[in-house]
Amino acid sequence: MAGRRSIVLLNEENSARAAMLHAACFDVGSEWSARSMRETLKAQTTLALGLEDGDRLTGLLLIQRVPPDAEILTICVHPGRRRSGAAQQLFDHAVTLLGPYGIDRLMLDVAGDNLAAISFYERNGFGRDGVRKNYYRREGGGAVDAVLMSRPLAGHTHKSGA
Ligand SMILES: CC(C)(COP(=O)(O)OP(=O)(O)OC[C@H]1O[C@@H](n2cnc3c(N)ncnc32)[C@H](O)[C@@H]1OP(=O)(O)O)[C@@H](O)C(=O)NCCC(=O)NCCS
């Protein structure tokens, strides 16, 4: 059963549970090691937000700040907690925290077959800038394009009722 939902800042002490959540959210082969999660959470340039249901980590958003840009490294929500506004809550909170850092633009890349994520990003004002052909390798030998997306940071509110 879901407990009280709250957003928390994560640091390297949270790397094991962040890596576990990430692994539960992505296909085998796309997960991050505990080590790369720790390095990312340790970096001064990372904004790392977690969503907790009670004391359980159920959402994660990692953004790397390189002013004037910032890159979404990952956003993920536990499969049992999706479509309840968790990613939206994390994203909205991150936008408010990025305000003082002189960030003009948010960027990301996403697998072209990840329709849930593309839909989430489009709803939040991201447009498509281009494609990197066959960028993501899949288990079993296939490859899928990366879609490059970005949006200005200031002055955007997400589309309601999308
Ligand atoms: C993409 C992801 C983070 C969305 O998380 P979520 O908490 O379920 O998203 P929210 O509930 O906040 O959804 C907000 C809006 O995004 C869009 N959206 C989210 N999931 C969607 C889906 N499966 N299909 C279509 N639209 C979707 C909808 O517009 C949704 O609003 P609505 O529910 O009112 O229609 C989640 O599906 C996930 O963790 N996927 C696996 C990890 C991943 O691929 N991450 C992105 C690449 S780094």
CATH number of the domain to which 144 belongs: 3.40.630.30
Asked, for residue 128, whether it belongs to a domain, the answer is yes
- In this prediction, residue 140 carries a pLDDT of 80
- In this prediction, residue 68 carries a pLDDT of 95
Asked, for residue 77, whether it belongs to a domain, the answer is yes
- In this prediction, residue 2 carries a pLDDT of 57
Query: pTM score, two decimals?
Result: 0.94
Distance CA 118, CA 57 (A): 23
Residue 122 CA, ligand 1 centroid: distance in Å: 11
Please work out whether the CB of residue 79 comes within 6 Å of at least one atom of ligand 1: no
- In this prediction, residue 79 carries a pLDDT of 97
Asked, for residue 121, whether it belongs to a domain, the answer is yes
Distance CA 21, CA 153 (A): 27
ω into residue 68 within 30 of 0, thus cis? yes
Asked, for residue 162, whether it belongs to a domain, the answer is no
Distance CA 100, CA 98 (A): 6
Residue 93 CA, ligand 1 centroid: distance in Å: 16
Comparing C-alpha atoms, which of 157, 25, 155, 152 is closest to residue 86? 25
Q: What are phi and psi of 132, to 5 degrees?
A: -105, 110
- In this prediction, residue 15 carries a pLDDT of 96
Into how many domains does the chain fold?
Answer: 1
Q: For each successive 10 residues of the chain (162 residues), what is the average pLDDT?
A: 84 96 88 92 97 96 97 98 98 94 96 97 98 90 95 65 42
In terms of residue numbers, what domain contains 51? 5-152
What is the best residue among 83, 91, 114 to mutate for testing ligand 1's pocket, by most ligand atoms within 8 Å of CB? 83
Please work out whether the CB of residue 85 comes within 6 Å of at least one atom of ligand 1: yes
Asked, for residue 71, whether it belongs to a domain, the answer is yes
Please work out whether the CB of residue 147 comes within 6 Å of at least one atom of ligand 1: no
